[in-house]
């Protein structure tokens, strides 16, 4: 049987990572945060003094990325970098290098290798369109820019970091525009993806919606 995949795509700070992780836990599936691979590549480039403008060097780094996932923890060069890769600066760097075709190609096989029984839940920008075009369920999860900025602002404040709400919103909107305009795997809703707007939903409501959609497909006759 084909190993089922739930592919959740959407813009930055829409909550797709949290929703995907909880759906995976509820189903007992594996989970892939595809954005972490690009963030890790951006961070590794900084540590190796490779410019984010050097596509060839970045692709080579991505192909041999010394990264490891252990549950919720993320390791680079043997060090836990879970907090570091979630910084705004690394997020912007990841968005920049993700536009390079050579980098995306280098990471494609690594992402597909996460597809193991009993199933996979993955989130990103092109999970349903490029990485897993045969996904069992495709979802485009989004929220208004204002709501996403509020969520990111709260995350930073809760961690004791300084944050400017207006700047966060401007950064989110700039990243949306850049991700949608790139020529390779642009951010967009695929025709066969279900749209889930979480602006007015709690995490629990969003998770329940995804589970209901998946269970409905699972019960459908072949």
Q: Which residues are annotated as a binding site?
A: 10-18
Looking only at the bridges linking them, the beta strands covering 5-9 and 137-142 are: parallel
Looking only at the bridges linking them, the beta strands covering 137-142 and 30-33 are: unpaired
Q: Computed from CA positions of residues 200, 144, 52, 64, in that sequence, does the dihedral angle turn out positive or negative? A: positive
Helix (H, G, I), strand (E, B) or coil at 76: strand
Q: Computed from CA positions of residues 90, 96, 98, 103, in that sequence, does the dihedral angle turn out positive or negative? A: negative
Task: Give the rounded distance of the alpha carbon of 40 from its chain centre.
Answer: 12
Report the residue count for the chain.
222
Task: Give the rounded distance of the alpha carbon of 190 from its chain centre.
Answer: 16
Beta-ladder partners of 69? 74
Q: CA 111, CA 122: separation in Å to the nearest integer?
A: 9
Contact (Cβ atoms closer than 8 angstroms) between residue 93 and residue 171: no
Residues contributing to the annotated binding site for ATP: 10-18
Q: CA 28, CA 117: separation in Å to the nearest integer?
A: 10
Assess whether the previous peptide bond of 52 is cis (omega < 30° from 0). no
């Amino acid at each position: 049987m084909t190993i089922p995949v739930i592919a959740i795509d959407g813009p930055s700070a829409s909550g797709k990572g949290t929703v995907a992780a909880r759906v995976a836990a509820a189903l007992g599936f594996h989970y892939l945060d595809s954005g972490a691979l690009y963030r890790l590549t951006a961070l590794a480039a900084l540590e190796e003094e490779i410019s984010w403008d050097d596509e060839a060097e970045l692709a080579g780094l991505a192909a041999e990325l010394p990264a490891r996932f252990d549950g919720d923890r993320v390791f680079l060069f043997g060090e836990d970098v879970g907090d570091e890769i979630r910084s705004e600066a690394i997020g912007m760097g990841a968005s920049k290098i993700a536009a390079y075709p050579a980098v995306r190609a280098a990471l494609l096989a690594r992402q597909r290798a996460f597809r193991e029984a009993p199933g996979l839940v993955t989130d990103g920008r092109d999970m349903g369109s490029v990485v897993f075009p045969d996904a069992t369920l495709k979802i485009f999860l989004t929220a208004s820019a204002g709501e996403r900025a509020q969520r990111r602002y709260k995350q930073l404040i809760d961690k004791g970091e300084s944050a400017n709400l207006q700047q966060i919103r401007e950064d989110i909107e700039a990243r949306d525009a850049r991700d949608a305009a790139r020529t390779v795997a642009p951010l967009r809703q695929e025709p066969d993806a279900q749209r889930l707007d979480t602006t007015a939903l709690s995490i629990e409501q969003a998770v329940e919606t995804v589970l209901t959609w998946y269970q409905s497909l699972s019960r459908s006759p072949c």
